[in-house]
């Protein structure tokens, strides 16, 4: 099914393990309306496809346009995909999604062409098209959260490698013999700077008996510490929180330096919930990059905070569709 090149709107979809969100987007990247529902990830492929269709129809029904005005749909989701075939080869969040067709059933339901991509890559395209990466020739994005995702956009195109499983910058080794990662290796950036690693680092410091605001913020149960609490405590001058973010920023800075040395980008964009810590995190990232990135590669390269927040996924999906109709 060909995209409708004369249509003025597209739909971006962000599919996660908990929720699915869809947005009608115009060609300037403005969100016109949204739909959102549970993804029901563990109930099987057909159930989740139905939820995606519900979110898409909610978005259209809440807008002044009809499905006839929609050129196409772009969707980001966790896992490995074959974008040309519309197939999911593997996903960590969805039960039994191994080599399954997802684009065609959605096309059949809504009558509009459907494109898919890995969620980190799609979010990177969103930042490139409408956020902090605008105007970049080569943009790298790190997404900091439960894990560490990454995306690479070169000359306006998502780069995914020969079998669409790249880039995985969260699994660069940044500390030899470091902690075990979920991938089974040791010392990956993700093992050192993902959400749980940051919380564990702060809790271990607090268990040494040092005074910290994190005790009050967590109800005196360090199991309930969150990255947001750590960032808040750091802003209030808490030494443990400041140290935790400084160490985290160092590890992320090593990962960013590796990316700069290998790819020579003009922009590195850092987003995700953990990036909301602001300069308490970004200052040590930039300091580490200045020390470890090669001088020539660093010239003209900016390390920037992402701009789109939670909208990166849906705007990235929209950008996928817009690129097709504008080609």
Residue 1 has pLDDT above 70, yes or no: no
Q: How many CB atoms lie within 10 A of CB 71?
A: 23
Question: Is 155 in a helix, a strand, or coil?
Answer: coil
Q: Which two tokens stand for residue 267?
A: 């922009």
Does a structural domain hold residue 3?
A: no
Residues 45-100 have pLDDT tens digits of 999 999 999 999 999 999 999 999 999 999 999 999 999 999 999 998 898 899 99
In the chain, the number of structural domains is 2
Does a structural domain hold residue 131?
A: no
Instruction: Answer yes or no: are the C-beta atoms of 27 and 79 closer than 8 Å.
Output: no
Enter the pTM of the model.
0.94
Instruction: Answer yes or no: are the C-beta atoms of 26 and 32 closer than 8 Å.
Output: yes
Does a structural domain hold residue 1?
A: no
Domain shared by 297 and 316, yes or no? no
Q: Give strand pairing partners of 100.
A: 88
The C-alpha torsion from 102 through 108 and 110 to 112, rounded to 10°, is 80
Does a structural domain hold residue 2?
A: no
Higher pLDDT, 1 or 279: 279
pLDDT band at 2 (very low <50, low <70, confident <90, very high): low
Domain shared by 108 and 94, yes or no? yes
Backbone region of residue 166 per phi and psi (left: phi > 0; alpha: psi in -120 to 50; beta: other values): beta
* Range 252-280 average pLDDT: 97
H or E stretch covering 301: none
| Amino acid 30: pLDDT | 97
* Range 183-211 average pLDDT: 96
| Amino acid 93: pLDDT | 86
Whether omega before 242 lies within 30 degrees of 0, making that bond cis, reads no
Domain shared by 188 and 322, yes or no? no
Any long-range contacts for 47-52 (C-beta under 8 Å, 24+ apart)? Answer: 48/15, 48/20, 48/94, 49/102, 49/105, 49/106, 49/109, 51/20, 52/13, 52/15, 52/20, 52/22, 52/106
Residue 88 is part of which domain span? 9-126+311-326
Residue 326 has pLDDT above 90, yes or no: no
Q: What separation in angstroms does the CA of 324 have from each of 43, 72, 84, 317, 327? A: 32, 9, 12, 11, 5
Distance, in Å, from the CA atom of 22 to the CA atom of 60, rounded to the nearest integer, reads: 9
Q: How many CB atoms lie within 10 A of CB 126?
A: 33
Domain shared by 82 and 167, yes or no? no
Task: Please tell me what DSSP assigns to residue 99.
Answer: S
Mean pLDDT rounded to a whole number for the chain: 95
Domain shared by 122 and 148, yes or no? no
E-strand spans in 41-147?
70-77, 80-82, 87-90, 100-101, 114-118, 138-144
E-strand spans in the chain?
9-15, 19-26, 31-38, 70-77, 80-82, 87-90, 100-101, 114-118, 138-144, 148-154, 157-158, 267-271, 302-305
| Amino acid 280: pLDDT | 96
Domain shared by 15 and 157, yes or no? no
What's the sign of the alpha-carbon dihedral 198, 204, 210, 213?
A: positive
Per-position b or e across 2-20, b if 16+ CB within 10 A of its CB: ebbeebebbbbbbbebeeb
Does a structural domain hold residue 235?
A: yes
The fraction of the chain above a pLDDT of 90, given in percent, is 94
pLDDT band at 249 (very low <50, low <70, confident <90, very high): very high
Does a structural domain hold residue 295?
A: yes
CATH number for the domain that contains residue 228? 3.30.420.40
Residues 169-194 have pLDDT tens digits of 999 999 999 999 989 999 999 999 99
Domain shared by 102 and 145, yes or no? no
| Amino acid 166: pLDDT | 87
Does a structural domain hold residue 294?
A: yes
Domain shared by 76 and 171, yes or no? no
| Amino acid 327: pLDDT | 63
Domain shared by 46 and 97, yes or no? yes
| Amino acid 229: pLDDT | 97
Measured in degrees and rounded to the nearest 5, phi and psi for residue 41 equal -60, -35
Residues 18-36 have pLDDT tens digits of 999 999 999 999 999 999 9
Does a structural domain hold residue 19?
A: yes
Domain shared by 110 and 195, yes or no? no
Instruction: Answer yes or no: are the C-beta atoms of 113 and 127 closer than 8 Å.
Output: no
Instruction: Answer yes or no: are the C-beta atoms of 99 and 82 closer than 8 Å.
Output: no
Domain shared by 102 and 201, yes or no? no
Domain shared by 35 and 60, yes or no? yes
Instruction: Answer yes or no: are the C-beta atoms of 120 and 127 closer than 8 Å.
Output: no
């Amino acid at each position: 099914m060909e995209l409708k090149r004369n249509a003025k709107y597209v739909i971006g979809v962000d599919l996660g393990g908990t929720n699915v969100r869809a947005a009608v987007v115009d060609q300037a990247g403005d969100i016109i309306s949204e739909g959102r529902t549970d993804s029901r990830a563990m109930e099987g492929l057909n159930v989740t496809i139905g939820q995606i269709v519900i979110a898409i129809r909610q978005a259209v029904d809440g807008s002044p346009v009809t499905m006839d005005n929609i050129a196409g749909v772009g969707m980001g989701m966790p896992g490995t995909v074959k974008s040309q075939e519309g197939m999911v080869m593997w996903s960590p969040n969805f039960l039994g999604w191994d080599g399954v067709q997802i684009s065609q059933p959605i096309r059949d339901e809504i009558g509009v062409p459907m494109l898919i991509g890995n969620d980190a890559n799609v979010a990177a395209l969103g930042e490139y098209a409408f956020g902090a990466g605008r105007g970049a020739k080569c943009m790298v994005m790190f997404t900091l959260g439960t894990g560490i995702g990454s995306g690479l956009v070169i000359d306006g195109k998502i780069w995914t490698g020969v079998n669409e499983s790249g880039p995985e910058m969260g699994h660069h080794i940044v500390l030899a013999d470091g902690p075990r990662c979920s991938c089974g290796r040791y010392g990956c950036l993700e093992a050192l700077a993902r959400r749980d690693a940051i919380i564990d680092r702060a809790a271990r410091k607090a268990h040494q008996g040092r005074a910290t605001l994190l005790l009050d913020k967590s109800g005196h149960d360090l199991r309930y510490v969150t990255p947001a609490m750590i960032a808040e405590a750091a802003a209030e001058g808490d030494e443990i929180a400041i140290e935790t973010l400084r160490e985290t920023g160092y590890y992320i800075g090593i990962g960013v330096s590796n990316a700069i040395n290998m790819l020579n980008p003009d922009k590195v964009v850092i987003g995700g919930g953990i990036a909301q810590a602001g300069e308490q995190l970004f200052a040590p990232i930039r300091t580490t990059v200045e020390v470890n990135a090669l001088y020539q590669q660093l010239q003209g390269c900016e390390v920037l905070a992402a701009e789109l927040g939670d909208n990166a996924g849906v705007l990235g999906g929209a950008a996928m569709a817009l690129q097709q109709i504008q080609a």
